[in-house]
Every structure is written in C-alpha cells, then in structure tokens.
Amino acid sequence: MLKDFFNQKKTETGSKLNLDKLRGRITGGRSYVFSGEEKNKKKYISIKKPEVPNDCYRKCPKCGKALYNQDVKENNYICPSCGEYFRVHAYRRIEMLCDEGSFEEFNQEMDFVNPLDFPGYEKKLRLQQEKYKLNEAVITGFCKIKNEAAVICVCDSRFIMSSMGYNFGEKVTRAIETATMKKLPVIIYCASGGARMQEGIVSLMQMAKTSAALKKHHDEGLLYISVLTNPTTGGVTASFAMLGDVILAEPKALIGFAGPRVIEQTIGQKLPDGFQSSEFLLEHGFVDIIAEREKQRDLISYIIRSYKRHDYIDISGETVGGWSVGRESAGKLKGADFLSKNANTRAWDRVELSRRSDRPKALDYIENIFDSFLELHGDRHFGDDRAIVAGLAEIKGIPVTVIAEQKGRNVKENIDRNFGMPDPEGYRKALRLILEADRAGRPIICFVDTPGAYPGISSEERGQGEAIARCLFELSGVKVPVLSIVISEGGSGGALALSLANEVWMLENATYSILSPEGFASILYKDAKRAKEAAELMKITARDLLNLNVIEKVIPELKPADKDSVLELSRLMKNEICSFIEKYEKLTKDEIYNKKQQKFRNL
C-alpha cells in the first residue's frame, strides 16, 4: 500500500520525491525519519522516539523508575513506586506546609562575608546564588500553618549542601530572636552537610550563636519544633537541629554528627543497615515522631495549638452516670452504695482484681477519655521505653500532657512493654514532658499501673534510682496542676515517680503499696506464701488509702473494670478530670505549688 502511494506521488509530480514535504503530509509535522529509502531501496519507515521536555519526567534515585513529575508532586514528592522521599527545595517546602499567601520572607538579602579571605569562595557562592536564585542556604520568614502563626526557617540542601556559615547562622539567629520578641513558635526544617569549611572557626561559632538564641526563646516558654530531613549532619545536628521541644523526622532520613564515610574510615568497620536513620534515632530516644510528609502540616499545627493559652471556662459539663467518693466523706463510707456492697472485699481479692489480664490498660482510658492524643517518644539520652507512654492530648478543647505506665494486652505486647515496669529511659521521657508541660502551662494527667520499676542490671547501670528521684524532685516544683490516677497496680517507687501530684485518685479495685504483698511477706515473714496475710496488714486498697489521707478520691467500679465497663468508667473519669482542671485553673501558679508542697509536708 505504501509502495503504491510513493509511485502515485512520483507520477503526479514527475520529479524526485520530496521526502521532507511528504514527511509533513504523512505525519502532520511530527518528527519521524525515513531511512534507507533511496540507497537501499527498502520500503519501510524507521520511527524516532518522540522528544519529551526534560522537566516532564524524573528518575527515582532508589528504584530507578521514570516518574511523571505531576504524579510525584501530587504525592508530596514521594516516589509512588517505592516510597523514596525526594529532596524538596526551600520554597517548595514552604508552599507545601504554609497556608496559601501567608508566608512573608525576611532577611532575604545579606552582604557577602568571607571571614578567612578564602580564595575562590566568593566566586563559588555567586555561582550558587545565580543557579538556585537564593542568597543563602536557608529561607526565613513569618507564616501560618492551618491558621497558626509561626516563624519558619527552611534549609535548602542544593546550596553548598546547606552548610552553615556566618550568613546562614545569622539568618537563623535573627529569625529566632524575632520569634522571641513576637512570642511566636519557631519551626526549623533542617537539612545540612554541617559547617562551611571556607569559613573555618567562624562557621563553628554559629553553632553556639543559634543555640544561645534558642535558649532565650525556650526561657520565654515558647515552642520550638525541629524537623529533620535528609541529610541532617555535622554542626547543624550538634546545635539547633537537636534542641527542639518536639523533634520530628522524615522517614529514612540520614541524621548524625559525623558522616557515615568518616565513621567507617575512623573505626575501620562497615556500618550496619539503618545506622543514623530517622528510625535509628527514634529507637535510641532522640526523635519524638517519624512524620510522613503528608501528615506534617496537621502534626505541626496540632503541636502549636498545644502551646497556646486557653480560657478555662466551665468545661466540666453535665454529670455522667456514677460518682466518686472524696476525702470529705471518708468517715461516712458505709453510706455509699458501691462501698457498702464491696466493703467486705478482702485486700487480697482486690490485689487479684488489679492484676487481671483483662483489666483495661492506660491506653484504653486515654483513647476513650481524650478527644485526641499525640504520642511523643524518647528520653533524648539513650532510648525510648515503651513501658511509659507520654504525649500531648486535648480534653474538651483544653491541651494537657498525658503520661502513663502501660502494660501489654497480651504476652507479646507485655514483653515489648516489659510488663509495665519502666527503665530509667521511661522515667526520663516522663521527666522531659513534665518540664515541657510546666513551661507551656499545661495540666499533667498521669495514669499509674506498674508492679514497680524494672530491677534489672541494665537499669541499675543507667541510674534507675536517679531517674525516679529526678521525677519526684521536678514534679514537686512544677506550677501546673498535676493529677495521678492509679488504675490497677501502684507498686513502690515505680508508681510514686508519677504520683507526686496535687491530687491522687484510685479506681476502687486498684492497689497502691510500698511493694508487692509477696515481697513484703518475704522480707518480714521470710515466707512469700503469707502474701494474703500481708495484704491485709499493708493497707493497700483505695478505701484504706483514702482513710490515711494518701489519696483524694476513689472512682467506683460498679463491677470489676473490664473491656465491657471501660467506656462507662472513661466517661466518669473524663467528667472528673474536667472538674479537676476547672478547679485548679482558678488558682495562681504559686497557690498550686504551695498546696502540693503542704500536702506532702503533712504526710
């Protein structure tokens, strides 16, 4: 057919076939090439691959697949195929995070600085500025994130690997100082190869300068959120990147002080897979949350809200079914229905009820009492102890800090959570959030459920006693209201570490004691089998402790707490917690502090 077409054209024109003209008629102007037609007398068409604009596709650095740019953009610059995170330049990051039209850049232009008169440095810098249309490796300005105002700094790793020199440090410091002056939170998206070698010791000093500015911001009770992206290394890691009140990290980001190649060359060993990753830092207690890119905007706005001061109007709401017994009725306990029905329940029976495997755990109450809960991780020293759960929560719109000892719901989870026996890292995680709540003015709600602090060799090596003592020391000094609720077992110093509170409540079938009845019997009677007898003498039930003025309130269990009654118990506890917050918000900080001091002075 094609041959007939060519012959017809030759006949019509009576001259040599104009291939260029014919190509346009056949292809409509598209760039196809005829090859070998005249020389080899072949009657076929070889089609060249259509040309595609360079900016339409990109290659994933991990899986190697060609990806349509629009698909990558709609997926928050994450590979749709393998989930690899693409690096995002500073203005793109701002576009993704901030409310539209809310970003106002400041300190955009800064004069060139070459403190060491390093040869070729100015030329290198000018080339970077022209190439990326940036004055420096960090962008700073005001913004709003879901209508929450903040000062934001975003590093751009394209610009000399976002290394920190004088201008970089000066821009970050000025941004922090502006936030301090205007009482705004600071958000810094970190990405850096470390110090800028061309500026030598002056670059090193930027670590000190930015850290000092953050200290002033911190002392004003203001929030700093650090977001670690790939890569965050060197002097940035060893200064402002790791100083956040809350530290977020993107998945699988490289984060560390010394780079992997430097470490390998120094120690002469190959590093394990996942070393210096976000996940590695989470496990070792240095990161609060691994934050997927699509969730960062919501997470950051939630954290900012948790630092805002609220007007504490009547939040107690209507009374929910059930009631509690306070110290004022301690002498009239026989008149209370739930106590009269259960008054003769033996102490050992309550010990067994408190230890039942189907008894609700702290997270069961947290999920049902609070409108939202954001768990934070790590002690910023060694690890993240899963026996203690801690984070930010809201109850009827009021931000609070929640700290809880968490047992497992099954054997596997119990092993993971060490049967609710915290290590030093757990108490230090709790301590970190206690101090942070005090600065932010948030009430602290603790849930106590532990047979005791873990008594292992490793815990002693890492300072179990010091960690518990430090919790008691700092809890005694905070000036926000602290409430502790013993929901099952309250064992020894492991429970007391979270119970130096303005008020301590207990569920009716919970226990709170110097140690387990078995341990008590072993020490005093040299016979653990006398635990039942010991339990009666130890005065460890909620009723006993109310009479001893150790606790302020008993929360009734119309039947022993289990999965069927947890919702009703949670509703009752929510109402009581709201009343507690309302009561203490009427007091000054000094009044809250003095009442707590006096309470424990009188015990």
Q: Return the structure tokens found at 87.
A: 């690096």
Over the stretch 78-126, which tens digit does the pLDDT of each residue have?
999 899 999 999 999 999 999 999 999 999 999 999 999 999 999 999 9
Q: Return the structure tokens found at 360.
A: 């609700």
For 146-244, strand residue ranges (E) read 148-155, 186-192, 224-232
Indicate whether 339 pLDDT > 70. Answer: no
pLDDT band for position 31 (50/70/90)? Answer: very low
Amino acid identity of residue 350, one-letter, is R
CB proximity list for 103: less than 8 A, separation 6 or greater = 94, 141, 142, 143, 152
pLDDT band for position 4 (50/70/90)? Answer: low
Angle formed at CA 179 by CA 178 and CA 180, multiple of 5 degrees? 90
pLDDT band for position 287 (50/70/90)? Answer: very high
Distances (CA, A) of 212 to 110, 172, 185, 205: 22, 12, 16, 11
Indicate whether 311 pLDDT > 90. Answer: no
Distances (CA, A) of 409 to 350, 403, 419: 20, 18, 10
CB proximity list for 246: less than 8 A, separation 6 or greater = 223, 225, 226, 288, 289, 303, 376
pLDDT band for position 30 (50/70/90)? Answer: very low
| Of 167 and 59, the one with more pLDDT | 167
Amino acid identity of residue 254, one-letter, is L
Over the stretch 125-156, which tens digit does the pLDDT of each residue have?
999 999 999 999 999 999 999 999 999 999 99
Looking at the chain, the number of H-run helices and the number of E-run strands are 24, 18
Rg (CA), the chain: 33
In this prediction, residues 306-321 reach a mean pLDDT of 57
Taking the CA of residue 23 as centre, how many other CA atoms within 13 Å lie in the half-sphere pointing to its CB? Answer: 15
Angle formed at CA 327 by CA 556 and CA 442, multiple of 5 degrees? 80
Indicate whether 449 pLDDT > 70. Answer: yes
Mapped onto helix, strand or coil, the DSSP state of residue 33 is: strand
Q: Return the structure tokens found at 355.
A: 């230890």
pLDDT value at residue 458: 94
CB atoms within 10 A of CB 574: 20
Over the stretch 378-427, which tens digit does the pLDDT of each residue have?
999 999 999 999 999 999 999 999 999 999 989 999 999 999 999 999 99
